[in-house]
Amino acid sequence: MLSKTIMSGDWKNEKHVPVIHIEKSVKGEDVKVKLAVGEEIGHPNTFEHHIAWFKLFFQPEGFPKPIEVSTVDFTAHGEEDTLTSYTAEVNFKAEKNGKLFALSYCNIHGLWESEADLVLE
Ligand SMILES: [Fe+2]
């Protein structure tokens, strides 16, 4: 990391950190990942304060850079908290093991990241 622009932490204590749940990782089949923000501690969803998007990247072993797999935009906000849950299911093909990276963006608190190892069965 070049700067402190992107923050991280334990998602169980820090509501901005994206959570990566690898739900299926069988070689030759779609990898299934559930992404969430605020899973343990909910994050507001008002016009003034909300999660605008999160992204998932995958960097296969031996590949020089991460590949952007998915972006999820959250565009509905309200005067009061709406019922939007910041979750998404992402499916993609992977031929190799590698590293998953997730980024989330809060309009007030900035960029947050997390990572997880993808190990194909
Ligand atoms: Fe925030």
> Residue 10 has what pLDDT?
86
106 is catalytic: yes
Which pLDDT score is estimated for 3? 59
| Three-class DSSP category at 63 | coil
Q: Are the beta carbons of 31 and 113 closer than 8 angstroms? A: no
Q: How far apart are CA 70 and CA 58, in angstroms?
A: 10
Cα–Cα distance measured from residue 66 to residue 34, given in angstroms and rounded to the nearest whole number:
18
Query: Could you tell me the two tokens for 67?
Result: 């590949």
Of the residues 39, 50, 55, 106, only one is catalytic, namely: 106
Active site (annotated) includes residue 15: yes
Indicate whether 117 pLDDT > 90: yes
At 83 the pLDDT is: 62
14 is catalytic: yes
Q: How much is the pLDDT for 119?
A: 97
- Give pLDDT tens digits for 8-54: 888 888 899 999 999 999 998 999 999 999 988 899 999 999 999 99
Up-side HSE of residue 64: CA atoms within 13 Å toward CB? Answer: 0
Q: What is the pTM of this model?
A: 0.90
Give how far Cα 49 sits from Cα of 6, 15, 27, 77, Å: 18, 13, 40, 9
The pLDDT confidence band at residue 4, using thresholds 50, 70 and 90, is confident
Separation of CA 46 and ligand 1 centre (Å)? 10
Of 43, 50, 55, 77, which residue is the catalytic one?
43
Active site residue 50: no
Cα-trace Rg, the chain: 15
How many whole angstroms from 62 Cα to the centroid of ligand 1? 35
Q: In a 10 Å sphere around its CB, with 0-12 CB exposed, 13-18 middle and 19+ buried, how is residue 87 labelled?
A: middle
pLDDT in tens, 56-92: 999 999 999 999 999 999 998 988 777 678 999 999 9
